[in-house]
Amino acid sequence: MSVTEKFTEALFDGLEECYEEEQKQKIEEMNGLIEEMDEGEFITVFTKDLFNKIHQMIEKEKLSLEDAILLLKQSGYCKELKCFNDYAFSESLLSDRFQKMIFDENEKKKEEKNEKRLIDLCECFALLFEEPVSEELLFIIMPCLLKVASKKEENEEIQKEAEMALLALSNVYTYYEIRRKLYLNEIKAIIRYHQEHHNLTRLAFQSAWQFLINRFFTNISLEEVIMNELHFSKEAARELEDLSKSVDWKRKEEGKGENEAKEVLVIERWLNVIDFYFDSCRSWNRELVGLFCSIVQVFQASRDNYPYTSSQCLCSLRRAAEKRNVEIDGLLKSGAIGAVVEEIQQPTINDDIMWNGLLFFLSISERLKEKTDGETTETKRKELKRKIFEKMEEDGYEDVIAGFHKVFDFLRIQYHYKLSLDFSDYIVNI
């Protein structure tokens, strides 16, 4: 039987007919199967109908809320860790039920309130919900989960609790700006404490940053805090380097152990949050060069056996090249330009790598052709053009681009309208 068949037919379909102890055993088995699922399998299993059925089982007291939470937490953890997109929960009756239960539990008097149940409900909801969260609900979820994540004990149980809370928070987003006083002091304290004491797991630390960068996406005033107070570029660079050292990139993905496979997933989550950062940041910071270096290292290491990770790295470098605040000299010093030239020269190159690489060089070429104000800055621009021209000439870049010229139109139609059909737009001349 396939993973989905085992989950649905052998375990879930008969769940409501079991006694409580057998239910717990089945849920443990289902949680093990969830860890094995890829995105297609996950979406096949976790449908709106399945979530509605869980809602009905709770309603009819054929499944306890505690057992349902065990299953839902594991599904939400898997979905977020592996960056799956599944809107089934958001559209289900179970989502409505959990929202009401969160409000009801929060309104109880202090002596009547079940804090653990409220935390569990908030975590399940935040992990699984893929729509913008209402402001009223945020006022409950954020303080509740930030309180859990702020615990400073370094034992394994507390680390797991903080990881789950921060992972859940990392999935919370809205279309509007959230008041800074609701979260900023707490998340700054969590990040700073980890910087000094290293009390969080790698996934928890990444999730804390993702939560903050998601707020940056709608609140540009956070740039000073993120860039200069908490030093995002420096922290992300160090995390990428440390995680990369613990992965044997020469061994294919299916040969990885559980811990090593999780570290690759955390690297990919870091690359996602770096993309959000590049989209939002407006200022140049020298620490960005170190971040580019770390991305290049992962890019080159993952090329042979991890095409998705490698493609993510190239996408991040392309986003950086497009940003006017990013100094092109920083991309040159980090080795990014040489690494992308080397990549597009590979004999087997897919369309995704090709168009990201072309956009990378198109952005650099366009920016270097722009005149600058002042004699000093214009002299620096010309000197930078010369350095990049020499680097590209040394690596045979122009011949590679000439070889791609016939597919420019196809890539432009299929993948990206910004691709130019003019060969000269990709060339840097002195």
The predicted-structure confidence for 112-162, as pLDDT tens digits, reads as follows 999 999 999 999 999 999 999 999 999 999 999 999 999 988 899 999 999
pLDDT number for residue 375: 75
- Flag whether pLDDT at 177 surpasses 80: yes
- Tell me the residue length of the chain: 430
- Flag whether pLDDT at 38 surpasses 80: yes
Stronger pLDDT, 183 or 350, i.e. the higher one? 183
pLDDT number for residue 416: 72
Show the tokens assigned to 13: 């379909």
pLDDT number for residue 173: 84
pLDDT number for residue 353: 87
426 close to 401: Cβ distance less than 8 angstroms: yes
Per-residue pLDDT tens for 368-381?
988 877 777 888 88
Mean pLDDT calculated for residue range 30-41: 96
Domain count, the chain: 1
Is residue 195 included in any domain, yes or no?
no
Mean pLDDT calculated for residue range 330-337: 96
Mean pLDDT calculated for residue range 210-220: 93
Mean of the per-residue pLDDT values for the chain? 93
- Flag whether pLDDT at 346 surpasses 90: no
Is residue 337 included in any domain, yes or no?
yes
pLDDT number for residue 348: 79
d(CA 126, CA 133): 9
The confidence band for 26, taking pLDDT boundaries of 50, 70 and 90, is very high
Is residue 166 included in any domain, yes or no?
no
d(CA 383, CA 370): 14
Mean pLDDT calculated for residue range 396-405: 86
Is residue 171 included in any domain, yes or no?
no
pLDDT number for residue 407: 79
- Flag whether pLDDT at 413 surpasses 80: no
Is residue 418 included in any domain, yes or no?
yes
Least-confidence region, from 1-15, 98-112, 311-325, 389-403: 389-403
- Flag whether pLDDT at 237 surpasses 90: yes
Is residue 93 included in any domain, yes or no?
no
Is residue 243 included in any domain, yes or no?
yes
pLDDT number for residue 255: 80
DSSP letters for 23-48? HHHHHHHHHHHHHH--HHHHHHHS-H
pLDDT number for residue 330: 95
The confidence band for 411, taking pLDDT boundaries of 50, 70 and 90, is confident
CATH number at residue 421: 1.25.10.10
- The SS3 assignment for 198 reads coil
Stronger pLDDT, 250 or 412, i.e. the higher one? 250
d(CA 101, CA 331): 50
d(CA 325, CA 281): 8
CB atoms closer than 10 angstroms to residue 38: 11
Is residue 312 included in any domain, yes or no?
yes
Could you list the residue range(s) of the whole structural domain that residue 294 is in?
231-430
Q: What angle do CA 312, 128, 203 make, to 5 degrees?
A: 50
